[in-house]
Structure 1
Amino acid sequence: MELEKLADCLKALGDPTRLKIVALLNVRECCVCELVPIFNISQPAISRHLSRLKSAELVREARRGQWVFYSLNRERLESVGLALTQLPDFSEELRKLAEKGLLVNCE
């Protein structure tokens, strides 16, 4: 990977909110509206963070009906040297959202 692209990826990962988003996406793909209650910040702010991760090619998006789901671009993260196994496990936060009925089910 060329130096400029690597620097861009590392800058995108340098923000604690974006790094936590990556850790959450390491558990499962998520929609913006699922991330809002976890971070307690606005939907546009979450969207900006995801846009930054997407521009660095660290996440991918897929539209399903009215929802856009984000997932990790694991190959890109590995090429940057991020050990996904070293990220904190946020399964519990996603489980709490499920209990509150705040996870999107587009099936």
Structure 2
Amino acid sequence: MTGSVIPLENAAIIVKLLGDKTRLSMVKILNTHDCCVCEFVEIFQVSQPAISQHVKKLKDVGLVRETRKGHWIFYHLNKKSDYYPLVHSLLEHLPTQDEKLQELEKRGLRISCH
């Protein structure tokens, strides 16, 4: 239902979730790149359980999906979510987060789950 009106209560939940800087940055990254938890741990320099909680909150509302590739689980933004048009309109106004992934690549830490 892309482009449909969403209930105000649901929009408030999404806006509140994205009010957290880490989650907002994660969503911006996931809009263009798949990532695993270990990469987010390195990017944000927080614990794996903290990152997993952020991902869980985004998954619980259907904004983020996961794909298993071998031993790794990669997360991506669910562009089929009813909330995606709202999220996408917000993301268009934010700076790219590509430099965070480029820094991981320089350090040899891109896609380095064990």
Among 59, 67, 70, the alignment partner of 1:62 is: 67
Partner of 1:44: 49
Percentage of pairs with the same residue: 48
Decide whether the 8 Å contact of 1:36 with 1:43 is kept in 2: yes
1:29 equivalent in alignment to 2:34 = yes
- Tell me which protein shows more helix as a share of its residues: 1
Distance (whole Å) between structure 1 residues aligned to residue 46 and residue 14 of structure 2: 23
Deviation at 1:80, TM superposition (A): 5.1
> 1:22/1:80 Cα in 2 relative to 1: closer, same or farther (>3 Å)?
closer
- TM-score normalized by the length of structure 1: 0.86
Conservation of the 8 A alpha-carbon contact between 1:6 and 1:80: no
* Aligned amino acid, residue 95 of structure 1: Q
Question: Gapped runs of 5+ residues in structure 1?
Answer: none
Q: Please show how residues 1-107 of structure 1 align to structure 2 within 5 Å.
A: 1-75=6-80, 76-79=83-86, 82-104=89-111
The CA deviation string for residues 31-72 of structure 1, in whole angstroms up to 9 with x for no partner, is: 000111111100010010011111121111111111111111
| TM-score, normalization by structure 2 | 0.81
The count of corresponding residues between Structure 1 and Structure 2 is 106
Deviations 1:17-40 (A, max 9, x none): 100111121231100001111111
